[in-house]
Amino acid sequence: MSVVKSSLSEKDLKLVGESLQGALVDLVDLSLVAKQVHWNIVGPRFRSVHLQLDEVVTTARQHSDTVAERASAIGVTPDGRAGTVAAQSAIGTVPDGWIKDGDAVQILVDALGAVITRMRERVQTTDEPDPVTQDVLIQVTADLEKHAWMFQAESG
């Protein structure tokens, strides 16, 4: 049962809903991965990377809310539960224990790369059926690419 009625066709709603759900899962997991690394980073670049990680967490959390609310606005129920995120995320796992600053940077480069790749696919997928959702996903991608650039510069 959908309480919210969408102006999109059933076919378009399914496609856009899947794109938003995938984006939500990746953003929730990105925030969790960045926070886990944030808590466990060690090394001479601790402070700068530690602060950068918090910026990623903030961005991911803000965008996850925007994406989830966009899904709700078009009649798709967002699912950010832990089991769903664990089953559907594109991001690899974070190792246990302390994480050296160089490894922390690489973990974020890899995580952001995985999410950005899928986000760009979603931007393409939503082009025709829902340019409004596409616009949301474009902004998410732009912000994540900025973080990716900064972490890549750290690894250089």
> Mean pLDDT for the chain?
96
- The yes-or-no verdict on residue 28 having pLDDT over 70 is yes
What was the pLDDT predicted at 7?
A: 87
- The yes-or-no verdict on residue 46 having pLDDT over 70 is yes
Write the Ramachandran bin of 83: left for phi over 0, alpha for psi from -120 to 50, otherwise beta. Answer: alpha
What was the pLDDT predicted at 2?
A: 60
Tell me the Cα Rg of the chain. Answer: 16
Assign 125 a pLDDT band (cuts: 50, 70, 90): very high
3-state secondary structure of 100: strand
What six digits make up the tokens of 54? 């918090």
| Chain-centre distance for alpha carbon 110 | 12
- The yes-or-no verdict on residue 97 having pLDDT over 60 is yes
For residue 100, what are the β-bridge partners? 42
- Its sign, for the CA torsion 6, 12, 18, 20, is negative
Assign 3 a pLDDT band (cuts: 50, 70, 90): confident
- The yes-or-no verdict on residue 86 having pLDDT over 80 is yes
